[in-house]
Amino acid sequence: MALLGDDLYGVITVGLVFFSIFAAAEVWRRRWKADPELTRKTIHLLAGVACILFPFLIQSTWVVFSMAVLFTAVLALGAKTSQLKSLTDVNRVSWGSECYPLAIFLVYLIARDQLWLYSSSLLVLAVADAFAALIGTRYGTLLYEIEDSRKSLEGSLVFLIIAFLSIHLPTLLLADFPRSTTVLAALLVALLVTGFEAVSLRGWDNLFVPVGVALILGRLVTKTPTEILYQNLSFVFTCCVVGILQWQVRPFNVGATLAFILFSYATWSLGSFYWFLPVLMGFIVYALCHFFYPELAVNFAVVKVRRVFRMGLPSFLLLAGASVFSLFYFLYSPFIVSCMALLTSILWRGAVIPHAMKGVQKWRISAAIGLLTWSTVALVPWLLQRGDWIVIVVLAAISQLMSFGNEWLRREFPSAGTNHISMILTAIGVLLVALLQYYGLMPAWSPD
């Protein structure tokens, strides 16, 4: 007891509140045969709202961490033994309940000293998610696919509206920001986390959404209204460009399109337009291949959410490293290389090369793919910025090497997947460029 100190009464209060919520939900589910989706979302709603009291009742981060671990263990045990029927009787695989305590702790860790930020994050988690799920399940008719599940446009719109209000009102009432800042920041964050919620699988939105609100909103409100407006417009521009290409060509399903939009906007937001440009050019080339060569489109794998995440992971890690450690100048060329490696691998998958084709023809196709990848992903940003000529020559050589490497890997290892080949070539190309820059053999190039 002494270890808890002044937090003892807070722990007891929170424990009693949570026990009451769970007990009432269990009685509701077992005795009155309530819909398990309804009881599950009711628990999420009430528990999330109750957690807003944490900064007032508990001061120790370790106490909150211990409670999060304890509740996660209880929920995992309840799911395994099927004792918490109010949470586990749903007809789908979900880790949402287990993610919930971790999300609460992370938001507490990030924002406990900023009540407006803490409240906004939890209200989006508790209120927006619960109402969107309930209304979407009951009234949703316009459905779209996310991997092996379906979500409704009505539910996503409800989530967007409630998320905007959940962010805007605490930011306006509990902090001292200009009204224009609160409105623009709330709109942008609501749009982004609506995308997070739409593409998250198996309940992981319970983790990504509140943490995303805490991280993005906390950073966004430090900018001027003009800068936030620019961010909103850049997001709208990204949605329009990708949406038009997707509507005309349909290289992705809906879930993959949303995931790609979020990834593309991240390159613009964390980097700049010139970090977004290689991604956009690669997508345009990919879409044009579908449009002009529909007979080859069947050779491209069906792109869904998980595939977008896996394919974009190396580029995103480079971008995140540049943003966190202020290495934009050093990591821009490696980022370009990662984009070229991905596009090269995708084009090689779509290029149908009969086994009977002569080797010299394969080399020509390799050279053509390498030239196309380099000219769109690397040359266009370089021409707009007029970088050092040595850089573009080195990138041209690396692009050709990666195209030849694709041909060799696919010939020697026919069972290798496109993503695996892309990962291997990305690692080699990024390491080569980094070493050339480190030893001064190639000047670092960044448009920022």
Q: Which residues contact 232 (CB under 8 A, 6 or more apart)?
A: 184, 187, 188
N residues, the chain: 448
pLDDT, tens digit, 9 for 90 and up, residues 340-391:
998 998 888 765 444 444 455 777 888 888 999 999 999 999 988 877 889 9
Confidence of residue 1 (pLDDT cuts 50, 70, 90): very low
pLDDT of residue 296: 55
Task: Kindly tell me if the per-residue pLDDT of 202 is higher than 90.
Answer: no
| pTM score | 0.78
pLDDT, tens digit, 9 for 90 and up, residues 10-44:
888 888 888 888 888 888 777 777 777 777 778 87
What percentage of the chain carries pLDDT values higher than 90? 26
pLDDT of residue 5: 57
pLDDT of residue 336: 95
pLDDT of residue 162: 93
Q: Which residues contact 12 (CB under 8 A, 6 or more apart)?
A: none
What percentage of the chain carries pLDDT values higher than 70? 88
pLDDT of residue 291: 72
Residue 19 tokens read as 């026990």
Residue 380 tokens read as 């266009």
Confidence of residue 209 (pLDDT cuts 50, 70, 90): confident
pLDDT of residue 448: 63
Looking at this protein, which amino acid is placed at residue 265? Y
- Separation CA 89–CA 25 (nearest Å): 12
Q: Which residues contact 176 (CB under 8 A, 6 or more apart)?
A: none
Task: Please state the rounded mean pLDDT for residues 214-239.
Answer: 89
Helix (H, G, I), strand (E, B) or coil at 149: strand
pLDDT of residue 353: 43
pLDDT of residue 355: 42
- The answer to which of 89-98, 144-153, 270-279 has the lowest mean pLDDT is 89-98
pLDDT, tens digit, 9 for 90 and up, residues 167-184:
999 999 999 999 999 999
- The answer to which of 262-271, 280-289, 304-313, 434-443 has the lowest mean pLDDT is 304-313
pLDDT of residue 356: 40
pLDDT of residue 357: 47
How high is the mean pLDDT of the chain? Answer: 83
Task: Kindly tell me if the per-residue pLDDT of 148 is higher than 60.
Answer: yes
pLDDT of residue 354: 41
Task: Kindly tell me if the per-residue pLDDT of 188 is higher than 80.
Answer: yes
pLDDT, tens digit, 9 for 90 and up, residues 56-115:
888 888 888 888 888 888 777 766 776 776 666 656 566 667 788 888 899 999 888 899
- The answer to which of 81-95, 124-138, 180-194 has the lowest mean pLDDT is 81-95
pLDDT, tens digit, 9 for 90 and up, residues 150-164:
778 888 899 899 999
pLDDT of residue 294: 62
pLDDT of residue 266: 86
pLDDT of residue 161: 94
pLDDT of residue 142: 78
pLDDT of residue 171: 94
Three-class SS string for the chain? CCCCHHHHHHHHHHHHHHHHHHHHHHHHHHHHCCCHHHHHHHHHHHHHHHHHHHHHHCCCHHHHHHHHHHHHHHHHHHHHHCCCHHHHCCCCCCCHHHHHHHHHHHHHHHHCCCHHHHHHHHHHHHHHHHHHHHHHHHHCCCEEEECCEEEEHHHHHHHHHHHHHHHHHHHHHHCCCCHHHHHHHHHHHHHHHHHHHHHCCCCCHHHHHHHHHHHHHHHHCCCCHHHHHHHHHHHHHHHHHHHHHHHHHCCECHHHHHHHHHHHHHHHHHHCHHHHHHHHHHHHHHHHHHHHCHHHHCCCCCECHHHHHHHHHHHHHHHHHHHHCCCHHHHHHHHHHHHHHHHHHHHHHHCCCCCCCCHHHHHHHHHHHHHHHHHHHHHHHHHHHCCCHHHHHHHHHHHHHHHHHHHHHHHHCCCCCHHHHHHHHHHHHHHHHHHHHHCCCCCCCCCC
